[in-house]
Amino acid sequence: MTLVSRVPEGAIADKWDNHKFGVKLVNPANKRRFDIIIVGTGLAGASAAASLAELGYNVKVITFHDSPRRAHSIAAQGGINAAKNYKNDGDSVYRLFYDTIKGGDYRAREANVYRLAQVSVDIIDQCVAQGVPFAREYGGLLDNRSFGGAQVSRTFYARGQTGQQLLLGAYQALMRQVHLGSVTLYPRTEMLDLVVKDGHAAGIVCRDLDTGDVFSMSGHAVVLATGGYGNVFYLSTNAKNSNVTAAWRASKRGAFMANPCYTQIHPTCIPASDDFQSKLTLMSESLRNDGRIWVPKQMDDPRSPDQIPVDERDYFLERRYPAFGNLVPRDVASRAAKREVDSGRGVGPLKNGVYLDFGHAIERLGVEVVEERYSNLFEMYERITGEDPYTVPMRIYPAVHYTMGGLWVDYNLMSNLPGLFVLGEANFSDHGANRLGASALMQGLADGYFVLPYTIGDYLAPLLGQQPLATDDPAFRDAEQHVDEQVRRLLSINGKRTVDDIHRQLGKVLWDNCGMSRTEQSLTKALSEIPAIREEFWENVRVLGENETRNQSLEKAGRVADFLEFAELMVYDALDRKESCGGHFREEYRTEDGEALRDDANFAYVAAWEFNGVGEDPTLHKEPLVFEYAHPSTRSYK
């Protein structure tokens, strides 16, 4: 099978316009004759649902959350990029495109990224019109801040709660459609399988989390906007319930999983304090605007930070990357911090962090300005650690944050299974091997508001007059039975270990062997350990309670079961990619001074994996990446 990316012809700046004109349209009166199932109500899902419903399609929306507003997107703090050039500092669509391609280490599809940069400006307008209270300057105009990986100020923000405000905007637009009757909403409902008929996505199988009922839903198209899989590591900055289940089950039904090894490690998280740690908390990257990162020059320095004079501190990012300083992209900052901690200069009781110091900023700007910019982040830090960042430097350490990999999609955001569309973090599309800060929100909303509403018509138009597959079709019955069996099986094992316990074990194997840096040896080790954990899980997990009432252990068990299968693919991909790029850093492939060494001659492709069965080797399909505009260069932030 060959992957058709459907990238339109023409100069990069015209591709999207050409494409919009070229796609087939569905007549307004006919739209209501199409049923579209959208799984997920994050930025991508909610914005798509609202926009499609408004166009007139018949939309069903599924989320396992108790309200669409709780999707993980709500947790994004820092901001959203857009090439508005409001700051008059030389920003443009082309620059945002270029920064994103470069930030992604030349592993993203040019045409998609250019389109993303193009529609970024519309997103801001749309959100302002919806009442998103972006930060403003005294003159009443929108404020911007700068973010890692960019030398212009193009990030729009709403205090430290940008994701929340954007999601509320999309959620409200969605609820308006619910009110108008064009969206049917299924909260507390989890998608547990994708139904494929004759190679086309025909519907999904769901489980009602309150009653345990398993039921099917059919539609002309299925849209997955189910977020990322960072929780495969157990500890990550993702919300506790984020998972790979929807994407993985689609993958088991034939959708290709692309670049699963690209995981982003975020440099500014609060270090773990003990084994009971349930998740890691991100401190927004915007802190790096004014905070300076350092470690003591001396190893195992026992002094408290205020006792260490400035010339005995190593501001290692400023030293190594003078041009970008503390604002180097995430992967670079993370690896640098890891290097310091590994060399014995880590700080804090567990020696597992580096300082992020606001002392200088407070001297330079005054407490009020620092407070105005960061007070809520400082409060959050203090609540968690019990330390006051106004007086004691913060301690930070990298943590798993975002997953660039995801289901493979073409320019229309359709996967290799016709009728299955994938949006947001769940797809692989726009960030290559590393995502720049404030670009995920942009991508989620771009996909949902401004891309899918145009491209879905191209698939649907020829289907006019066809009924969606009846839910008593054997394809549905089989899938339902499959889901039922898994539930029953999980409840019947009654072993000796809890789900979390096994998940933690998996997470540790991945973090140690397929985390911030990887080697052939560590990856091979992981590949041998994961199947054993999976076996242990199916023999020895203990899931109590029943199917018929709310059972969180059961939900968790199903998700961990999928992580256990997916993890293997992730490691497999990491092993196969014999180069270092972005979030994928192979110790074997680096320059003399320790920076990532890309291999454009052999690895400038998207690795899309076809599932062949649990424990079986997957099949690799390559989509070559061609760079006509942003020519691959060594990513240097020095």
Partner 1 sequence: MTTTAPGTTPKRGVQPIRKVRRGGPAIVQFYRSAVGKKWVMALTGLALMGFVLFHMVGNLKLFISKSELNLYGEALRDIPGHLLPRTVLLWGLRIGLILAFVFHIHAAYSLTLLNRKARPDRYRSPRDYVAADFASRTMRWTGIIVLLFLIYHLLDLTWGAANPEFVRGDPYNNLVYSLDRTPVAIVYIVANIALAFHLYHGGWSLFQSLGWNNPHYNKGRRLFAQGFAALILLGNLTFPLAVQFGLVEPACPHTDPVEQCDEESGL
Partner 2 sequence: MSGANESMRITLKAWRQASAEVRGEFETYDVPGVSPDMSFLEMLDIVNERLILDGKEPIAFDHDCREGICGSCGMMINGQAHGPERGTATCQLHMRKFSDGDHITIEPWRAAAFPVVKDMIVDRSAFDVIIEAGGYIGVGTGGAPDGNEIPIPKPVADAAMDAAACIGCGACVAACPNGAAQLFTSAKIQHLNLLPQGQAERWDRTVNMVDTMETYFGSCTNHRECEAACPKSISIDFIALMNKDYVKAQFKQRRLIGQSLP
Ligand X SMILES: Cc1cc2nc3c(=O)[nH]c(=O)nc-3n(C[C@H](O)[C@H](O)[C@H](O)COP(=O)(O)OP(=O)(O)OC[C@H]3O[C@@H](n4cnc5c(N)ncnc54)[C@H](O)[C@@H]3O)c2cc1C
Positions annotated as catalytic residues are 330
Check binding of 32 to partner 1 (CB under 8 A).
no
CA angle 555, 556, 557 (to 5 degrees): 95
* Residue closer to ligand X, measured from CB, 248 or 589: 248
Question: Contact 290/361 with Cβ under 8 angstroms?
Answer: yes
Check binding of 208 to partner 1 (CB under 8 A).
yes
Q: Which of residues 82-111 bind partner 2 (CB under 8 A)?
A: 84, 86
Q: Longest Cα pair distance anywhere in the chain, in angstroms?
A: 76
Check binding of 188 to partner 1 (CB under 8 A).
yes
State the Cα–Cα distance between residues 81 and 88, nearest whole angstrom.
15
The interface partner of residue 500, options being partner 2, ligand X, partner 1, none and the CB cut-off 5 to 8 Å by kind, is partner 2
User: What is the token pair recorded at 616?
Assistant: 């079986």
Q: Min. distance of Cβ 75 from ligand X in angstroms?
A: 4
The interface partner of residue 438, options being partner 1, ligand X, partner 2, none and the CB cut-off 5 to 8 Å by kind, is ligand X
Question: Contact 130/176 with Cβ under 8 angstroms?
Answer: no
Residue 145 dihedral angles phi and psi, to the nearest 5°:
-130, 170
Q: Which amino acid is at 49?
A: A
State the Cα–Cα distance between residues 70 and 59, nearest whole angstrom.
20
Question: Contact 585/264 with Cβ under 8 angstroms?
Answer: no
Of the candidate residues 323, 532, 544, 614, the single one contacting partner 2 (CB under 8 A): 544
Check binding of 210 to partner 1 (CB under 8 A).
yes
The interface partner of residue 441, options being ligand X, partner 2, partner 1, none and the CB cut-off 5 to 8 Å by kind, is ligand X
User: Under 8 Å CB-to-CB from 440, ≥6 apart: which residues?
Assistant: 76, 402, 424, 425, 431
Question: Contact 222/407 with Cβ under 8 angstroms?
Answer: no
Q: Going residue by residue from 176 to 195, which x/- string records binding to partner 2, judged by CB under 8 A?
A: x-xx-----x-x--------
Q: Min. distance of Cβ 204 from ligand X in angstroms?
A: 8
State the Cα–Cα distance between residues 500 and 278, nearest whole angstrom.
9
The interface partner of residue 265, options being ligand X, partner 2, partner 1, none and the CB cut-off 5 to 8 Å by kind, is none
Q: Going residue by residue from 391 to 410, which x/- string records binding to ligand X, judged by CB under 6 A?
A: ----------xx--------
Q: Which of residues 120-149 bind partner 2 (CB under 8 A)?
A: 122, 124-131, 133-142
Question: What secondary structure, in 3-state letters, does 148-191 show?
Answer: CCCCCEEEECCCCCHHHHHHHHHHHHHHHHHHHCCEEEECCEEE
Check binding of 54 to partner 2 (CB under 8 A).
yes
Q: How far is CA 93 from the centre of its chain?
A: 23
Number of residues in contact with partner 1, rule: CB under 8 A? 14
State the Cα–Cα distance between residues 240 and 236, nearest whole angstrom.
9
Q: Find the helix or strand (DSSP H, E) in which 247 lies.
A: helix 245-252
Of the candidate residues 149, 219, 346, 424, the single one contacting ligand X (CB under 6 A): 424
Q: Min. distance of Cβ 179 from partner 1 in angstroms?
A: 5
The interface partner of residue 33, options being partner 2, partner 1, ligand X, none and the CB cut-off 5 to 8 Å by kind, is none
Check binding of 182 to ligand X (CB under 6 A).
no
Q: What is the DSSP letter of 136?
A: B
Give the SS3 label for residue 631: coil
Of the candidate residues 189, 242, 251, 412, the single one contacting partner 1 (CB under 8 A): 189
State the Cα–Cα distance between residues 65 and 71, nearest whole angstrom.
7
Of the candidate residues 50, 377, 438, 490, the single one contacting ligand X (CB under 6 A): 438
Q: Min. distance of Cβ 552 from partner 2 in angstroms?
A: 5
Q: How far is CA 582 from the centre of its chain?
A: 15
Q: Which of residues 26-65 bind ligand X (CB under 6 A)?
A: 39-45, 62-65
Residue 446's alpha-carbon distances to 45, 247, 380, 423, in angstroms, are 11, 20, 30, 9
Q: Find the helix or strand (DSSP H, E) in which 597 lies.
A: none
State the Cα–Cα distance between residues 253 and 256, nearest whole angstrom.
9
Question: Contact 245/389 with Cβ under 8 angstroms?
Answer: no
Span from 2-10, 385-393, 565-573, 619-627 in contact with partner 2 (CB under 8 A)? 385-393
The interface partner of residue 226, options being partner 2, partner 1, ligand X, none and the CB cut-off 5 to 8 Å by kind, is ligand X
Which of 38, 34, 35, 58 has the alpha carbon at shortest distance from 47?
Answer: 38
The interface partner of residue 184, options being ligand X, partner 1, partner 2, none and the CB cut-off 5 to 8 Å by kind, is partner 1
Of the candidate residues 85, 182, 439, 580, the single one contacting ligand X (CB under 6 A): 439
Check binding of 471 to partner 1 (CB under 8 A).
no
Check binding of 276 to partner 2 (CB under 8 A).
yes
Check binding of 214 to partner 1 (CB under 8 A).
no
Question: Contact 254/390 with Cβ under 8 angstroms?
Answer: no
Of the candidate residues 126, 165, 242, 513, the single one contacting ligand X (CB under 6 A): 242
Q: Which of residues 153-182 bind partner 1 (CB under 8 A)?
A: 175, 178-181
Give the SS3 label for residue 470: coil
Question: Contact 325/151 with Cβ under 8 angstroms?
Answer: no
Check binding of 238 to ligand X (CB under 6 A).
yes
Check binding of 184 to partner 1 (CB under 8 A).
yes
State the Cα–Cα distance between residues 241 and 626, nearest whole angstrom.
37
Q: What is the DSSP letter of 347?
A: B
* Residue closer to ligand X, measured from CB, 73 or 263: 73
Span from 164-172, 332-340, 584-592, 603-611 in contact with partner 2 (CB under 8 A)? 164-172
Q: Which of residues 363-382 bind partner 1 (CB under 8 A)?
A: none
Q: Min. distance of Cβ 185 from partner 1 in angstroms?
A: 4
Check binding of 165 to partner 2 (CB under 8 A).
yes
Looking up tokens 């030293």, which residue turns up?
Answer: 319
Of the candidate residues 444, 453, 515, 618, the single one contacting ligand X (CB under 6 A): 444
State the Cα–Cα distance between residues 460 and 452, nearest whole angstrom.
12
Give the SS3 label for residue 605: strand
The interface partner of residue 133, options being partner 1, partner 2, ligand X, none and the CB cut-off 5 to 8 Å by kind, is partner 2
User: Under 8 Å CB-to-CB from 115, ≥6 apart: which residues?
Assistant: 15, 16, 446, 451
Check binding of 302 to partner 2 (CB under 8 A).
no
Q: Going residue by residue from 476 to 505, which x/- string records binding to partner 2, judged by CB under 8 A?
A: --------------------x-x-xx----
What is the C-alpha R_g of the chain?
24
Q: Which of residues 393-452 bind partner 2 (CB under 8 A)?
A: 449-450
Q: Min. distance of Cβ 175 from partner 1 in angstroms?
A: 8
Check binding of 386 to partner 2 (CB under 8 A).
yes
Q: How long a stretch of residues is the chain?
A: 638
Number of residues in contact with ligand X, rule: CB under 6 A? 45
Residues near partner 1 (CB under 8 A) are 175, 178-181, 183-189, 208, 210
Residues near ligand X (CB under 6 A) are 39-45, 62-65, 71-73, 75-80, 162-163, 190-191, 225-228, 237-238, 242-243, 245-246, 282, 401-402, 424-426, 438-441, 444
